[in-house]
Protein backbone atom coordinates (compact mmCIF):
# COMPACT_ATOMS: atom_id res chain seq x y z
CA UNK A 1 0.00 0.00 0.00
CA UNK A 2 1.00 3.59 -0.63
CA UNK A 3 2.59 5.32 2.39
CA UNK A 4 2.47 9.10 2.36
CA UNK A 5 4.48 10.73 5.15
CA UNK A 6 3.52 13.93 6.91
CA UNK A 7 6.67 15.76 5.89
CA UNK A 8 9.86 15.19 3.97
CA UNK A 9 12.94 17.37 3.64
CA UNK A 10 13.87 18.72 0.19
CA UNK A 11 17.53 17.75 -0.27
CA UNK A 12 19.31 17.83 -3.64
CA UNK A 13 22.79 17.22 -5.00
CA UNK A 14 23.70 20.80 -4.10
CA UNK A 15 23.18 20.13 -0.39
CA UNK A 16 25.19 16.89 -0.58
CA UNK A 17 28.06 18.61 -2.37
CA UNK A 18 28.26 21.56 0.03
CA UNK A 19 28.02 19.36 3.14
CA UNK A 20 30.75 17.04 1.83
CA UNK A 21 33.08 19.97 1.16
CA UNK A 22 33.14 20.65 4.90
CA UNK A 23 34.61 17.21 5.58
CA UNK A 24 37.71 18.15 3.60
CA UNK A 25 38.41 21.11 5.87
CA UNK A 26 39.55 21.38 9.49
CA UNK A 27 36.48 23.52 10.31
CA UNK A 28 33.74 21.37 11.75
CA UNK A 29 32.44 24.16 13.97
CA UNK A 30 32.43 27.97 13.67
CA UNK A 31 33.86 27.89 10.16
CA UNK A 32 33.19 29.67 6.88
CA UNK A 33 29.94 27.78 6.13
CA UNK A 34 28.41 29.01 9.37
CA UNK A 35 29.28 32.60 8.38
CA UNK A 36 27.91 32.00 4.87
CA UNK A 37 24.69 30.57 6.30
CA UNK A 38 24.26 33.59 8.56
CA UNK A 39 25.01 35.97 5.69
CA UNK A 40 22.21 34.44 3.62
CA UNK A 41 19.76 35.44 6.36
CA UNK A 42 21.15 38.95 6.51
CA UNK A 43 20.66 39.17 2.74
CA UNK A 44 17.40 37.31 2.20
CA UNK A 45 15.50 38.29 5.36
CA UNK A 46 16.90 41.80 5.25
CA UNK A 47 18.23 42.08 8.78
CA UNK A 48 21.44 43.49 10.18
CA UNK A 49 22.59 40.38 12.06
CA UNK A 50 22.06 36.63 12.12
CA UNK A 51 23.45 34.19 14.68
CA UNK A 52 23.23 30.46 13.94
CA UNK A 53 22.33 28.28 16.93
CA UNK A 54 21.90 24.60 17.75
CA UNK A 55 18.07 24.66 17.75
CA UNK A 56 15.10 26.97 17.56
CA UNK A 57 14.56 26.42 21.27
CA UNK A 58 18.13 27.53 22.02
CA UNK A 59 17.58 30.69 19.97
CA UNK A 60 14.40 31.56 21.83
CA UNK A 61 16.06 30.88 25.17
CA UNK A 62 18.89 33.27 24.29
CA UNK A 63 16.41 36.03 23.41
CA UNK A 64 14.51 35.43 26.66
CA UNK A 65 17.79 35.97 28.54
CA UNK A 66 18.57 39.10 26.52
CA UNK A 67 15.09 40.50 27.20
CA UNK A 68 16.04 40.28 30.88
CA UNK A 69 13.40 37.72 31.84
CA UNK A 70 14.09 36.56 35.41
CA UNK A 71 12.55 34.48 38.14
CA UNK A 72 9.01 35.60 38.94
CA UNK A 73 8.60 37.72 35.77
CA UNK A 74 5.75 37.27 33.31
CA UNK A 75 5.83 36.88 29.53
CA UNK A 76 2.72 37.01 27.35
CA UNK A 77 2.52 34.25 24.73
CA UNK A 78 0.20 31.89 22.88
CA UNK A 79 -1.15 28.63 24.33
CA UNK A 80 -1.58 27.29 20.78
CA UNK A 81 1.99 26.51 19.79
CA UNK A 82 4.77 23.99 19.93
CA UNK A 83 5.70 23.70 23.61
CA UNK A 84 9.21 25.13 23.15
CA UNK A 85 7.92 28.70 22.74
CA UNK A 86 6.55 28.58 26.26
CA UNK A 87 9.17 26.32 27.86
CA UNK A 88 11.92 28.87 27.27
CA UNK A 89 10.04 31.16 29.68
CA UNK A 90 10.08 28.39 32.29
CA UNK A 91 13.83 27.90 31.75
CA UNK A 92 14.27 31.27 33.50
CA UNK A 93 11.70 30.47 36.22
CA UNK A 94 9.31 33.03 34.79
CA UNK A 95 5.60 32.57 34.13
CA UNK A 96 3.96 32.31 30.70
CA UNK A 97 0.79 34.39 30.65
CA UNK A 98 -1.36 32.93 27.91
CA UNK A 99 -3.76 34.92 25.78
CA UNK A 100 -6.28 33.07 23.64
CA UNK A 101 -5.96 32.92 19.87
CA UNK A 102 -7.81 34.41 16.95
CA UNK A 103 -10.11 31.71 15.53
CA UNK A 104 -9.08 32.48 11.95
CA UNK A 105 -5.32 33.02 11.95
CA UNK A 106 -4.83 30.72 15.01
CA UNK A 107 -2.30 33.25 16.29
CA UNK A 108 -2.38 35.05 19.62
CA UNK A 109 -5.24 37.57 19.49
CA UNK A 110 -3.35 40.88 19.52
CA UNK A 111 -6.44 42.85 20.52
CA UNK A 112 -6.85 40.63 23.56
CA UNK A 113 -3.22 41.25 24.49
CA UNK A 114 -3.89 44.99 24.44
CA UNK A 115 -7.00 44.49 26.61
CA UNK A 116 -5.20 42.27 29.09
CA UNK A 117 -2.37 44.74 29.52
CA UNK A 118 -4.90 47.56 29.96
CA UNK A 119 -6.82 45.73 32.65
CA UNK A 120 -4.24 43.64 34.56
CA UNK A 121 -1.06 45.71 34.50
CA UNK A 122 0.01 49.17 35.54
CA UNK A 123 2.93 51.14 34.20
CA UNK A 124 5.22 52.77 36.76
CA UNK A 125 7.13 54.77 34.16
CA UNK A 126 9.66 51.99 33.70
CA UNK A 127 7.97 48.60 33.71
CA UNK A 128 4.51 47.08 33.55
CA UNK A 129 3.51 45.38 36.77
CA UNK A 130 0.77 42.89 37.40
CA UNK A 131 -1.74 44.82 39.56
CA UNK A 132 -2.47 41.78 41.71
CA UNK A 133 0.93 40.17 42.20
CA UNK A 134 3.39 42.95 41.42
CA UNK A 135 5.17 40.67 38.95
CA UNK A 136 6.91 42.45 36.09
CA UNK A 137 5.73 41.85 32.55
CA UNK A 138 9.07 41.48 30.85
CA UNK A 139 8.32 40.58 27.22
CA UNK A 140 5.81 39.61 24.54
CA UNK A 141 6.48 36.34 22.72
CA UNK A 142 4.12 36.04 19.74
CA UNK A 143 4.36 32.88 17.60
CA UNK A 144 3.71 33.04 13.84
CA UNK A 145 1.90 29.75 13.86
CA UNK A 146 1.90 27.44 10.83
CA UNK A 147 3.75 30.19 8.92
CA UNK A 148 0.91 32.73 9.19
CA UNK A 149 2.08 36.10 10.55
CA UNK A 150 0.69 37.47 13.79
CA UNK A 151 -1.18 40.77 13.53
CA UNK A 152 1.82 42.69 14.84
CA UNK A 153 0.70 46.35 14.79
CA UNK A 154 -1.14 46.32 18.15
CA UNK A 155 1.85 44.57 19.73
CA UNK A 156 4.28 47.05 18.19
CA UNK A 157 2.23 49.92 19.68
CA UNK A 158 2.37 48.31 23.13
CA UNK A 159 6.07 47.62 22.75
CA UNK A 160 6.79 51.25 21.95
CA UNK A 161 4.52 52.68 24.60
CA UNK A 162 5.98 50.62 27.45
CA UNK A 163 9.45 49.74 26.13
CA UNK A 164 8.36 46.13 26.28
CA UNK A 165 10.58 43.81 24.21
CA UNK A 166 9.01 41.58 21.55
CA UNK A 167 10.57 38.21 20.78
CA UNK A 168 9.20 36.76 17.56
CA UNK A 169 8.93 32.98 17.44
CA UNK A 170 9.21 32.75 13.66
CA UNK A 171 10.32 29.13 13.80
CA UNK A 172 7.51 28.03 11.50
CA UNK A 173 7.45 31.12 9.32
CA UNK A 174 10.65 31.68 7.35
CA UNK A 175 9.96 34.19 4.58
CA UNK A 176 6.42 35.05 5.76
CA UNK A 177 5.42 38.69 5.45
CA UNK A 178 3.07 40.99 7.31
CA UNK A 179 1.51 44.18 6.03
CA UNK A 180 2.03 46.70 8.80
CA UNK A 181 -0.34 49.66 8.53
CA UNK A 182 1.71 51.32 11.23
CA UNK A 183 4.87 51.11 9.12
CA UNK A 184 2.98 51.40 5.82
CA UNK A 185 4.74 48.45 4.20
CA UNK A 186 5.20 44.69 3.97
CA UNK A 187 7.71 43.43 6.51
CA UNK A 188 9.29 40.01 6.96
CA UNK A 189 8.47 38.22 10.19
CA UNK A 190 11.37 37.97 12.59
CA UNK A 191 12.53 41.53 11.95
CA UNK A 192 10.09 43.48 14.12
CA UNK A 193 11.10 42.90 17.72
CA UNK A 194 14.39 42.73 19.60
CA UNK A 195 14.95 39.51 17.67
CA UNK A 196 13.30 36.64 15.85
CA UNK A 197 14.11 32.95 15.58
CA UNK A 198 13.82 30.51 12.68
CA UNK A 199 14.13 26.75 13.20
CA UNK A 200 15.41 23.93 11.02
CA UNK A 201 14.20 20.61 12.38
CA UNK A 202 13.61 18.27 9.41
CA UNK A 203 9.87 19.00 9.22
CA UNK A 204 10.44 22.74 8.79
CA UNK A 205 10.46 24.53 5.40
CA UNK A 206 14.25 24.21 5.27
CA UNK A 207 16.38 22.00 7.48
CA UNK A 208 19.82 21.69 9.04
CA UNK A 209 18.96 18.42 10.81
CA UNK A 210 18.80 20.22 14.14
CA UNK A 211 19.32 23.95 14.24
CA UNK A 212 18.01 27.47 14.43
CA UNK A 213 19.03 31.05 13.84
CA UNK A 214 18.50 34.33 15.67
CA UNK A 215 17.93 37.35 13.45
CA UNK A 216 18.02 40.89 14.77
CA UNK A 217 18.47 44.49 13.70
CA UNK A 218 20.06 45.37 17.02
CA UNK A 219 23.84 45.24 17.28
CA UNK A 220 23.87 44.69 21.05
CA UNK A 221 21.39 41.80 20.82
CA UNK A 222 23.59 40.08 18.22
CA UNK A 223 26.71 40.68 20.29
CA UNK A 224 25.29 39.25 23.51
CA UNK A 225 23.68 36.38 21.61
CA UNK A 226 27.08 35.42 20.15
CA UNK A 227 28.50 35.39 23.64
CA UNK A 228 25.63 33.44 25.22
CA UNK A 229 25.73 30.69 22.60
CA UNK A 230 29.49 30.33 23.00
CA UNK A 231 29.93 29.70 26.74
CA UNK A 232 29.74 33.38 27.62
CA UNK A 233 32.96 34.35 25.88
CA UNK A 234 33.73 38.05 25.35
CA UNK A 235 33.69 39.86 22.00
CA UNK A 236 37.36 39.46 21.23
CA UNK A 237 37.71 36.14 22.85
CA UNK A 238 40.80 35.68 24.88
CA UNK A 239 40.96 31.88 25.04
CA UNK A 240 39.02 30.67 28.08
CA UNK A 241 37.98 34.07 29.29
CA UNK A 242 34.27 33.99 30.02
CA UNK A 243 32.49 37.19 30.89
CA UNK A 244 29.01 35.82 31.62
CA UNK A 245 27.19 32.53 32.17
CA UNK A 246 26.77 31.07 28.71
CA UNK A 247 25.81 27.89 26.95
CA UNK A 248 27.00 25.71 24.15
CA UNK A 249 24.24 26.58 21.70
CA UNK A 250 26.53 26.72 18.67
CA UNK A 251 25.50 25.29 15.32
CA UNK A 252 28.08 22.88 13.89
CA UNK A 253 29.62 23.48 10.48
CA UNK A 254 28.01 20.47 8.76
CA UNK A 255 24.54 21.62 9.77
CA UNK A 256 25.36 25.16 8.67
CA UNK A 257 26.58 23.87 5.30
CA UNK A 258 23.29 22.04 4.81
CA UNK A 259 21.41 25.18 5.82
CA UNK A 260 23.49 27.35 3.52
CA UNK A 261 22.63 25.15 0.54
CA UNK A 262 18.97 25.16 1.55
CA UNK A 263 19.02 28.96 1.77
CA UNK A 264 20.35 29.16 -1.79
CA UNK A 265 17.16 27.26 -2.73
CA UNK A 266 14.82 29.05 -0.32
CA UNK A 267 12.68 30.80 -2.93
CA UNK A 268 12.35 27.62 -4.96
CA UNK A 269 11.37 25.56 -1.90
CA UNK A 270 8.82 28.10 -0.64
CA UNK A 271 7.39 28.41 -4.14
CA UNK A 272 6.93 24.65 -4.46
CA UNK A 273 5.24 24.50 -1.06
CA UNK A 274 2.87 27.25 -2.13
CA UNK A 275 1.96 25.27 -5.23
CA UNK A 276 1.26 22.16 -3.16
CA UNK A 277 -0.94 24.22 -0.81
CA UNK A 278 -2.77 25.72 -3.80
CA UNK A 279 -3.57 22.26 -5.13
CA UNK A 280 -4.98 21.19 -1.76
CA UNK A 281 -7.31 24.22 -1.73
CA UNK A 282 -8.51 23.30 -5.19
CA UNK A 283 -8.99 19.62 -4.38
CA UNK A 284 -10.83 20.25 -1.09
CA UNK A 285 -12.82 23.40 -1.79
CA UNK A 286 -16.16 21.57 -1.91
CA UNK A 287 -15.82 19.47 1.22
CA UNK A 288 -18.30 20.82 3.78
CA UNK A 289 -17.02 18.92 6.80
CA UNK A 290 -13.60 20.52 6.82
CA UNK A 291 -12.28 24.05 7.14
CA UNK A 292 -9.19 24.92 5.12
CA UNK A 293 -6.39 27.15 6.43
CA UNK A 294 -7.23 30.84 6.54
CA UNK A 295 -4.89 33.46 5.11
CA UNK A 296 -5.57 37.10 6.00
CA UNK A 297 -5.28 39.69 3.24
CA UNK A 298 -2.52 41.43 5.23
CA UNK A 299 -0.48 38.22 5.32
CA UNK A 300 1.88 36.37 3.02
CA UNK A 301 2.06 32.94 4.54
CA UNK A 302 5.15 30.72 4.41
CA UNK A 303 3.72 27.21 4.17
CA UNK A 304 4.97 25.07 7.05
CA UNK A 305 2.22 22.49 7.46
CA UNK A 306 -1.21 22.05 5.94
CA UNK A 307 -3.67 21.88 8.80
CA UNK A 308 -7.32 21.26 8.16
CA UNK A 309 -10.03 21.46 10.80
CA UNK A 310 -12.78 18.88 10.90
CA UNK A 311 -16.25 20.00 11.93
CA UNK A 312 -17.59 19.12 15.38
CA UNK A 313 -19.76 16.35 13.99
CA UNK A 314 -16.68 14.39 12.86
CA UNK A 315 -14.92 11.99 15.24
CA UNK A 316 -11.33 13.12 14.73
CA UNK A 317 -9.62 10.02 16.10
CA UNK A 318 -11.74 7.75 13.91
CA UNK A 319 -11.01 10.05 10.98
CA UNK A 320 -7.27 9.85 11.61
CA UNK A 321 -7.38 6.09 12.16
CA UNK A 322 -8.95 5.73 8.74
CA UNK A 323 -6.21 7.87 7.18
CA UNK A 324 -3.52 5.81 8.90
CA UNK A 325 -5.03 2.51 7.75
CA UNK A 326 -4.88 3.85 4.18
CA UNK A 327 -1.24 4.89 4.37
CA UNK A 328 -1.88 8.61 4.88
CA UNK A 329 0.04 10.12 7.81
CA UNK A 330 -1.64 12.80 9.90
CA UNK A 331 -1.18 14.48 13.28
CA UNK A 332 -3.22 16.67 15.57
CA UNK A 333 -1.51 20.08 15.76
CA UNK A 334 -1.24 21.25 18.64
CA UNK A 335 -2.24 20.12 22.09
CA UNK A 336 -2.87 23.33 24.10
CA UNK A 337 0.26 24.13 26.11
CA UNK A 338 -1.69 25.22 29.19
CA UNK A 339 -3.22 21.74 29.45
CA UNK A 340 0.11 19.89 29.47
CA UNK A 341 0.23 18.16 32.83
CA UNK A 342 3.24 19.99 34.27
CA UNK A 343 1.78 23.37 33.27
CA UNK A 344 -1.48 22.50 35.02
CA UNK A 345 0.40 21.44 38.15
CA UNK A 346 2.79 24.36 38.18
CA UNK A 347 0.56 27.26 37.19
CA UNK A 348 -2.97 26.03 37.89
CA UNK A 349 -4.16 26.32 34.31
CA UNK A 350 -7.29 24.33 33.54
CA UNK A 351 -9.63 23.38 30.72
CA UNK A 352 -11.98 26.17 29.75
CA UNK A 353 -9.50 29.00 30.27
CA UNK A 354 -8.69 29.47 26.60
CA UNK A 355 -11.77 28.23 24.76
CA UNK A 356 -10.74 29.13 21.21
CA UNK A 357 -7.42 27.32 21.57
CA UNK A 358 -9.12 24.30 23.11
CA UNK A 359 -11.80 24.14 20.43
CA UNK A 360 -9.31 24.52 17.57
CA UNK A 361 -6.92 21.98 19.11
CA UNK A 362 -9.68 19.39 19.27
CA UNK A 363 -10.37 19.66 15.54
CA UNK A 364 -7.04 20.21 13.77
CA UNK A 365 -5.45 17.57 11.57
CA UNK A 366 -2.16 18.13 9.75
CA UNK A 367 -2.08 16.18 6.51
CA UNK A 368 0.90 15.22 4.30
CA UNK A 369 2.68 18.35 3.14
CA UNK A 370 6.11 18.80 1.55
CA UNK A 371 7.62 20.36 -1.54
CA UNK A 372 7.90 17.11 -3.50
CA UNK A 373 4.33 15.95 -2.82
CA UNK A 374 2.92 15.10 -6.22
CA UNK A 375 -0.50 16.03 -7.53
CA UNK A 376 -1.26 12.33 -7.86
CA UNK A 377 -0.47 11.68 -4.20
CA UNK A 378 -2.46 14.75 -3.17
CA UNK A 379 -5.47 13.40 -5.06
CA UNK A 380 -5.03 10.10 -3.25
CA UNK A 381 -4.84 11.90 0.12
CA UNK A 382 -8.00 13.85 -0.63
CA UNK A 383 -9.86 10.75 -1.84
CA UNK A 384 -8.96 9.02 1.42
CA UNK A 385 -10.06 12.11 3.38
CA UNK A 386 -13.44 12.11 1.63
CA UNK A 387 -13.97 8.45 2.37
CA UNK A 388 -12.84 8.94 5.98
CA UNK A 389 -15.40 11.74 6.39
CA UNK A 390 -18.17 9.42 5.26
CA UNK A 391 -17.10 6.84 7.86
CA UNK A 392 -16.17 9.01 10.87
C1 LIG B 1 10.02 24.11 15.62
C2 LIG B 1 9.57 25.13 16.58
C3 LIG B 1 10.42 25.66 17.57
C4 LIG B 1 11.86 25.23 17.75
O5 LIG B 1 12.07 23.91 17.72
P6 LIG B 1 13.49 23.18 17.77
O7 LIG B 1 13.11 21.77 17.65
O8 LIG B 1 14.11 23.52 19.08
O9 LIG B 1 14.32 23.67 16.65
C10 LIG B 1 9.94 26.65 18.39
N11 LIG B 1 8.69 27.13 18.26
C12 LIG B 1 7.85 26.65 17.34
C13 LIG B 1 6.49 27.24 17.24
C14 LIG B 1 8.24 25.63 16.49
O15 LIG B 1 7.39 25.14 15.58
Least-confidence region, from 208-222, 223-237, 322-336:
223-237
Pair 151, 58 in one domain: yes
Pair 234, 272 in one domain: no
Pair 283, 381 in one domain: yes
Residue 3 domain-assigned?
A: no
Distance CA 384, CA 40 (A): 40
DSSP states of 13-34 as a string? HHHHHHHHHHHTSS-SBSSHHH
**pLDDT tens per residue across span 328-369:** 999 999 999 999 999 999 999 999 999 999 999 999 999 999
Residue 8 domain-assigned?
A: no
Q: Say if residues 192 and 167 touch (Cβ distance below 8 Å).
A: no
Reported as a pLDDT band with limits 50, 70 and 90, residue 85 is: very high
Total-model pTM? 0.98
Q: Quote the percentage of the chain above a pLDDT of 70.
A: 100
Residue 4 domain-assigned?
A: no
Domain C-terminal end among 201, 234, 264: 264
Mean pLDDT, range 164-189, rounded to an integer: 98
Pair 162, 301 in one domain: no
55 lines ligand 1 (CB under 6 A): yes
Distance CA 130, CA 113 (A): 14
Reported as a pLDDT band with limits 50, 70 and 90, residue 229 is: very high
Upper half-sphere CA count for residue 79 (Cβ side, 13 Å): 30
169 Cα nearest atom in ligand 1: 11
Mean pLDDT, range 54-59, rounded to an integer: 98
N-to-C CA span, the chain: 21
Omega before 292 cis (within 30°)?
no
Residue 175 domain-assigned?
A: yes
CA of 171 to the centre of ligand 1 (A): 5
Residue 69 domain-assigned?
A: yes
Residue 5 domain-assigned?
A: no
Pair 275, 166 in one domain: no
CATH of the domain at 241: 3.40.640.10
Strands 136-141 and 74-77: parallel
57 lines ligand 1 (CB under 6 A): yes
Pair 62, 162 in one domain: yes
207 lines ligand 1 (CB under 6 A): no
Pair 290, 301 in one domain: yes
**pLDDT tens per residue across span 34-44:** 999 999 999 99
Reported as a pLDDT band with limits 50, 70 and 90, residue 21 is: very high
pLDDT of residue 238: 73
CA of 376 to the centre of ligand 1 (A): 31
**Radius of gyration of the chain measured on its C-alpha atoms:** 21
Taking 90 as the threshold, does the pLDDT of residue 291 lie above it?
Answer: yes
Pair 302, 154 in one domain: no
81 lines ligand 1 (CB under 6 A): yes
Pair 235, 310 in one domain: no
Residue 198's domain comprises: 13-264
Taking 90 as the threshold, does the pLDDT of residue 237 lie above it?
Answer: no
CA of 57 to the centre of ligand 1 (A): 6
**What's the mean pLDDT when you consider all of the chain?**
97
Residue 162 domain-assigned?
A: yes
Pair 213, 326 in one domain: no
199 lines ligand 1 (CB under 6 A): yes
Pair 275, 384 in one domain: yes
CATH of the domain at 328: 3.90.1150.10
Q: How many domains does the chain have?
A: 2
Domain C-terminal end among 232, 264, 296: 264
CA of 56 to the centre of ligand 1 (A): 5
Domain C-terminal end among 247, 264, 281: 264
Best residue among 143, 199, 211, 304 to mutate for probing ligand 1's pocket (most ligand atoms within 8 Å of CB) is 199
Q: Quote the percentage of the chain above a pLDDT of 90.
A: 97
pLDDT of residue 244: 93
**Strands, E, within the chain: which ranges?**
49-53, 74-77, 95-98, 121-123, 128-130, 136-141, 167-169, 177-180, 185-188, 195-199, 212-216, 290-291, 299-300, 306-310, 364-367
79 lines ligand 1 (CB under 6 A): no
Pair 211, 227 in one domain: yes
Mean pLDDT, range 222-240, rounded to an integer: 89
CA angle 328, 335, 106 (to 5 degrees): 90
Residue 205 domain-assigned?
A: yes
Amino acid sequence: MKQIPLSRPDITGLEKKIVCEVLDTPYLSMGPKTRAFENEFVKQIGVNHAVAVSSGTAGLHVLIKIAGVKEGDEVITSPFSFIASSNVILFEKAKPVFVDIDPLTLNIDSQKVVELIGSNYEFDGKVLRNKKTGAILRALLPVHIFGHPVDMDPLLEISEKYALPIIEDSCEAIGAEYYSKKLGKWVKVGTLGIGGVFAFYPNKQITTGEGGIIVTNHENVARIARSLINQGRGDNPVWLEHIRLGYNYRMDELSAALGYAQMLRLDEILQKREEVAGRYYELMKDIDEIELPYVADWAKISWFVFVIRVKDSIDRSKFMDFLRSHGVASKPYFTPIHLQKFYVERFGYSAGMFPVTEDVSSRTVAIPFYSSLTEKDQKYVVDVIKEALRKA
